[in-house]
Amino acid sequence: AAPTVDAPRTLEIAAIPADGIGHDVVGAGREVVDALAAASGGRFSVNWTEYDWGSDYYAKHGVMMPADGREQVADKDAIFFGAVGWPTVPDHVSLWGLRLALCQGFDQWANIRPVQFLPGITSPLRAADEKDLDWIVVRENSEGEYSGFGGRNFAGRPDHQEFSVQSAVFSEYGSERIIRFAFELAMTRPRRKLSKVTKSNAQQHGMVLWDDVFDRVAADYPEVTTESVLVDAMAAKFVLKPGDLDVVVASNLHADVLSDLGSALAGSLGLASSANLNPERRFPSMFEPVHGSAPDIAGKGIANPLGAIGSAALMLEHLGLPEEAAAIHRAIEETTRRGVLTPDVGGTATTADVTRAVIDHLAL
Ligand code: GGG
């Protein structure tokens, strides 16, 4: 549980916009948090430190962040991140050099990706399912298919016999902690339902261990209704039986894909928020929109800031400010209900218009 803030407190936050629209949306999130701090009657304030790490930094220094980058932000209360990826840097270099270096280096093993269906936003699922939808995808964020083990051999052989190995690591420890986290989360929600995503019919080592751990942990939570769904069937279920879902726990790769599908089904990837948590609080956690850097719209002022603003709310909740987080969520709903929407969700508003509307609807 997050500690409750009793005394006025200054939050020390590292802001890392990184690439492309990361700059627009981190700026938007900061404006909303600053407006909330100003309205909080001194309950909290924020001291932002901005870092220029990312693909531009790479162009100058040959690395995405300095060698002591993690040390520079290790004592912050949280990291507010934008997006990584730019056409001038190979995607695996930018991702591993910054976002994954922070997530894995700070053992942010639980990636929480709520999928919220907001009023005023047309969703491909709304006509198909009358019920209010509210899913949370819980992503294993430290190992699995993104553990980074592997290599390439015979590079450049003229007979094209090069090969590569990319190993997925599923440890009992890593699987148990994320599965237990997902059960605990399911216990806090009215439906108490947890869907486990697997592919153990084909991946007969790692995913069978994942399934075994799930079954063992499930015995500790008899109040939670569970199901086990193959990842391909789960993709279909997201579309065809959306009312069946509540909390979904999946491996690093599976949850990465499914959470993008979920947010697209909610209307746009631009709406999706996320928290990369180090639940033990030994290291800072990191909050970021799910979307990438979107080079096609970078600098045009039309990026949807709601994913980042929602991530700022998750950050405040994590830092012991649940009322402030709820105020942001309500302001987001009021903004979309009134039709202040960026082009990705069918509107004509700019990033600045949406940010202003959220700030105007903040009420503590
Ligand atoms: N703000 C999220 C972001 O920048 N994502 C870029 C990306 O490619 N992420 C891959 C991943 O989530 O593992």
Q: What is the ipTM of this complex?
A: 0.93
CA distance 310 to 136: 14
**Of all protein residues, whose CA lies closest to atom 5 belonging to ligand 1?**
292
Mean pLDDT by 10 residues, the chain (364 residues): 65 98 98 96 95 98 98 98 98 97 98 94 69 90 96 95 97 98 98 98 98 98 98 97 95 98 96 98 98 97 98 97 96 96 97 98 93
Q: What is the DSSP letter of 99?
A: I
Give me the pLDDT at residue 6, please: 58
- Position 124 scores a pLDDT of 84
Q: What is the pLDDT of residue 128?
A: 46
Q: How far is the CA of 94 from the centre of ligand 1 (A)?
A: 10
Cβ of 84 below 6 Å from ligand 1: yes
Cβ atoms of residues 315 and 341 within 8 Å: no
93 phi and psi angles, rounded to 5 deg:
-75, -45
Q: What is the pLDDT of residue 8?
A: 65
Q: Is the CB of 270 under 6 A from ligand 1?
A: no
Q: Kindly tell me the sign of the dihedral angle through the C-alpha atoms of 146, 147, 153, 156.
A: positive
Please report which residue ranges of the chain form alpha helices under DSSP H.
22-39, 55-61, 69-73, 91-94, 100-105, 172-187, 206-218, 231-240, 252-266, 306-318, 322-337, 351-360
Nearest CA to ligand 1 atom 13: 256
Residue 144 near residue 171 (C-beta atoms within 8 A): no
Question: Which of 93, 95, 306 for a ligand 1 pocket mutation test, highest count of atoms within 8 Å of Cβ?
Answer: 95
Domains of the chain are 1-111+272-364 (3.40.718.10), 123-266 (3.40.718.10)
Q: Give 82 Cα–ligand 1 centroid separation in angstroms.
A: 9
Other CB atoms within 10 Å distance of the CB of residue 174: 21
CB 82 within 8 A of CB 44: no
Give the pLDDT confidence score for residue 131 in this predicted structure.
59
Q: How far is the CA of 242 from the centre of ligand 1 (A)?
A: 25
Chain position carrying tokens 């507010």: 80
Q: What is the pLDDT of residue 5?
A: 56
The pLDDT of residue 30 is: 98
